[in-house]
Amino acid sequence: MKRVLLVTAGVATLTLVTGVLRYTGASATAVFILAAVTLGGLAWLVGVATESVGARFGPAVTGVLQSTLGNLPELFIVLFALSAGEVVVAQTSILGSLFANALLVLGLAIVAGARAADGEVMTFKRRLPNDTATLLLLALSAIALLGLSDRLGDGASEHEVEISVVGAICLLVVYGTWLWSYLRSDSTEPAMEEHPLGVFPFTGAIVLLAAAGIAAAFVSDWFVNALDPAVEALGISKAFTGL
């Protein structure tokens, strides 16, 4: 608990320092680097807070909260990048998020889960992996079809925005429908038999989650504002920055 509080204080200090540098005319590169580090810390705080909130409702809710709210910093980066006209950064940020969650995070979770499980094998009932694979394929299919249409220059490519909006709404509806049915189901995964341990009390976790989310929005804005001069000074591409 003491270590978590120290890290929380450190992230809060980084957020404050980044804000001071942003509004005192400091080097854009310094703001850019500090904002990137701070976003990592805020993402960790969001994870800790959601786990503490979910501890009151069980492991299934905890997992849903982690997957839904755990990407708040990335979501804010995309929104502010689009608002600033940084389409390449927004696009590559989404791709980077998909790669990180589908490969890096999933791989690390399987390694850690297998080491902690009985017999070093993680076991699941059929529904969860099947649902996860179906939702992932649905999301990737929407992205791939739009990209293929754009490259081919067919008739559908003239209505990319409309098709994207319809596809996004369909994805949200499918996710909401799946989420409602999953949380109401009586099935319990073998990997969810242990109750999560909350680091913070419920009320404190709610306050921390709200504060971390608000801070992530501000830091994301500072990150995007410092993007152009920092990229030029560091000699890196915007696509690499987004990833």
Handedness of CA 221, 71, 179, 141 (dihedral sign): positive
pLDDT along the chain (243 residues), means of 10: 84 93 90 92 87 75 74 84 88 84 85 84 79 83 80 77 84 85 65 57 86 91 90 87 84
Q: The whole model's pTM is what? A: 0.75
Q: How confident is the model at residue 198, as a pLDDT? A: 58
Q: How confident is the model at residue 17, as a pLDDT? A: 94
Q: How confident is the model at residue 231, as a pLDDT? A: 87
Q: How confident is the model at residue 188, as a pLDDT? A: 56
The DSSP call for residue 194 is: S
Q: Where are the domains of the chain?
A: 2-86+196-242
Q: How confident is the model at residue 192, as a pLDDT? A: 52
**Tokens representing residue 198 in the block:** 């909350």
Q: Which residue has the tokens 């080491």?
A: 115
Residue ranges of alpha helices (H) inside the chain are 2-23, 28-54, 59-69, 72-83, 87-99, 106-116, 127-152, 160-184, 202-225, 227-234, 238-242
